[in-house]
Amino acid sequence: MAKKRRRKKGKRSEDQAPKTPTKPVTDEIRAQIEAWSAEAAEANDLVLFDAEVNGAWLIRIYVDREGAIEPGQGVTVDECVAVSRYVEALLDIDETVPEKYTLEVSSPGVERKLTKWRQVPLVVGRTVRLVLKKPIDGKTEYEGELVAAKDDVISLDYGASDPATIDWTNVSKAQLTYEF
């Protein structure tokens, strides 16, 4: 009968401590991961909606289809897997990325927030809700079809005779809306 060894209780030595990523997430690394994510999305006939990297090396990538889409035509799980594998291959060969990281790839969802200007042109043709910092024609909230987005200016068809023209710098909140 073999004897069982018991681990002595007490402090762990430095080499036994749990491994956590020690490499810092820099702006340069964030930009590189965003570029790889855009490349992976494009290779799969998708567009990069957003890429986030936090200090604990949690990498979240959101991919989508450009423009107005019909129900049931959104990003599939298989497409997310393909983007994930593409980016993972690049992360694994890069010396600036630690061995341990978490990578998540998904659709941003049907009622996603629009937080960056580069996201706005991707959703032309879809319904958005905007909250403004300063009122236009006495209104601080608009909802309607995003008909154009160019040079930081949004054109929104909200049911009036003419579309509203709204400068992106005047938007405090923007979100896609979807009627179920």
What sign for the dihedral angle of Cα 164, 167, 170, 171?
A: positive
Q: How many helices (H) and strands (E) does the chain have?
A: 2, 8
* Cβ atoms of residues 114 and 176 within 8 Å: yes
Confidence of residue 75 (pLDDT cuts 50, 70, 90): very high
Q: What's the topology of domain 27-106?
A: GMP Synthetase; Chain A, domain 3 (3.30.300)
Confidence of residue 7 (pLDDT cuts 50, 70, 90): very low
**pLDDT of 144 over the 60 cut:** yes
Q: Could you report the per-residue pLDDT of 13-61, keeping only the tens digit for each?
A: 445 544 555 789 999 999 999 999 999 999 999 999 999 999 899 999 9
Tell me how far apart the alpha carbons of residues 50 and 48 are, in angstroms, rounded to a whole number. 6
Q: Do domains 27-106 and 117-176 have the same CATH topology?
A: no
Note the helical H segments in 44-171.
77-93
Model pTM greater than 0.95? Answer: no
Note the helical H segments in 61-142.
77-93
**pLDDT of 74 over the 90 cut:** no
pLDDT of residue 70: 72
Sequence ranges of the domains in the chain: 27-106, 117-176
Mean pLDDT of all residues in 107-135: 92
Long-range CB contacts (< 8 A, 24+ apart) of 149-155?
149/120, 149/121, 149/124, 150/121, 152/117, 154/120, 154/130
* Cβ atoms of residues 49 and 35 within 8 Å: no
* Cβ atoms of residues 49 and 37 within 8 Å: no
- HSE (side-chain half, CA atoms, 13 Å) at 34: 14
**Which CATH entry fits the domain spanning 117-176: 3.40.50.1970, 3.30.160.60, 1.20.1260.10, 2.30.30.180?**
2.30.30.180
